[in-house]
Amino acid sequence: MEIPIFTVDAFTNVPFKGNPAAICLIENELQDDLYQSIAAEMNLSQTAFITKRNSMDFSSGARFGLRWFSPKCEVPLCGHATLASAAVLFYLKKNVNPVVTFETMSGELHVRQHEESLIMDFPLNKPQPQDQHEMKDLLKAVVGDLPIQDVCYCPTTWNLMIRLADTCDRPEAEALLKNDSTGKIKGICVTIKGAPNALPGYDFYSRYFAPWYGVLEDPVCGSAHTVLAGYWSEKLNKKKMLAYQCSSRGGELELELRDDGRLNISGRAQIILQGTLKI
């Protein structure tokens, strides 16, 4: 079996920045263990698998199946690998449709082109305030003694969000695993307010850690921004925001809360590698 495979840097217009995802074009569904083995082999935060629907090809079809796998397990929602998947369809396969629809574990996700960006129609996941004292050991492992302004949790994405009053150093991922006593956390967002009056005008900054998925730090996490957007929109009283995830690679996301309760996430992508996976 030969599978077309691509590496795409998402949420950036510069190669080797943003978040790299491996994208595989699948003619027919594979066994789950094979999906997982391929993702482990690629060893990126996410490997995405696009499958055809209704016998259409990747250039003319408007609807596709999409699954995401970390090196450790399948995940229910992934932003950067969805952006990267759409980039392969639009930029390489020259898909003729104005919008492509992905059937996923999180429902239908739509992606369209707008100038040099791709705009994803995603769910909006608003987090709920949490009692800091109930998870003090975990918070200590993440941010040390830095002052914490808010702690929120999103049960839909299993993400814990920590808003700091100041910047923080990178936590040790192994410490996060040891100090999660709830069993309900799959990722941690650390965020601070930006300075929108200073160029380039980011409304907030973040970092994202998901050792539970086998990803120590995710360079740019689109799904985490479904939570961050819900939080910061209320705090800043804004529906349109510009966000920056300040990992070592870094990435920029444009966010817009829609009147129908969903979220548009916009970003750019660079395809840096294409080849054939032989199994």
Are the C-beta atoms of 19 and 249 separated by less than 8 Å?
yes
98 and 182 in a single domain? The answer is no
90 and 168 in a single domain? The answer is no
136 and 248 in a single domain? The answer is yes
134 and 202 in a single domain? The answer is yes
Q: Which of 81-85, 124-128, 162-166, 225-229 has the lowest mean pLDDT?
A: 162-166
* pLDDT-based confidence at residue 170 (cuts at 50, 70, 90): very low
Q: Model confidence over 41-70: pLDDT tens digits?
A: 999 999 999 999 876 899 999 999 999 999
Q: Model confidence over 174-207: pLDDT tens digits?
A: 555 555 555 678 899 999 998 767 667 899 999 9
* pLDDT-based confidence at residue 233 (cuts at 50, 70, 90): very high
d(CA 62, CA 51): 12
Residue 168, SS3 per DSSP: coil
Which has the higher per-residue pLDDT, 27 or 144? 27
Residue 40: give the domain boundaries.
2-118+268-278
d(CA 195, CA 80): 25
Say what the pLDDT of residue 169 is.
Answer: 45
Q: In this prediction, what percent of the chain has a pLDDT beyond 70?
A: 92
Average pLDDT for residues 112-127, to the nearest whole number? 96
192 and 93 in a single domain? The answer is no
Say what the pLDDT of residue 185 is.
Answer: 84
133 and 252 in a single domain? The answer is yes
108 and 143 in a single domain? The answer is no
d(CA 223, CA 49): 17
CATH number at residue 24: 3.10.310.10
Task: Tell me how crowded residue 5 is: count the other CB atoms within 10 A of its CB.
Answer: 19
Give me the residues paired with residue 192 across strands: 205
Say what the pLDDT of residue 143 is.
Answer: 80
CA distance to 51, 109, 121, 229, 260, per residue, from 257 (Å): 29, 15, 10, 8, 8
Q: Which of 168, 269, 266 minimizes the C-alpha distance to 217? A: 168
Query: Is 123 domain-assigned?
Result: no
Give the helix, strand, coil percentages of the chain, each rounded to 5.
20, 40, 35
> Considering its fold, how many domains does the chain have in total?
2
219 and 235 in a single domain? The answer is yes
> Long-range contacts: 20-23, Cβ < 8 Å, 24+?
20/44, 20/45, 20/219, 20/272, 21/45, 21/46, 21/47, 21/48, 21/78, 21/80, 21/81, 21/84, 21/85, 22/46, 22/47, 22/48, 23/47, 23/48, 23/50, 23/81, 23/84, 23/85, 23/88
Which has the higher per-residue pLDDT, 235 or 142? 235
Say what the pLDDT of residue 164 is.
Answer: 87
* pLDDT-based confidence at residue 24 (cuts at 50, 70, 90): very high
52 and 149 in a single domain? The answer is no
Supply 55's token pair. Answer: 């016998």
Q: Where are the alpha helices (DSSP H) in the chain?
A: 32-42, 79-87, 136-143, 173-179, 222-236
237 has a pLDDT exceeding 80? yes
94 and 193 in a single domain? The answer is no
37 has a pLDDT exceeding 60? yes
15 and 114 in a single domain? The answer is yes
Say what the pLDDT of residue 22 is.
Answer: 98
The Cβ-side half-sphere exposure at 183, using a 13 Å CA radius, reads 0
Which run of H or E residues covers position 192? Answer: strand 187-193
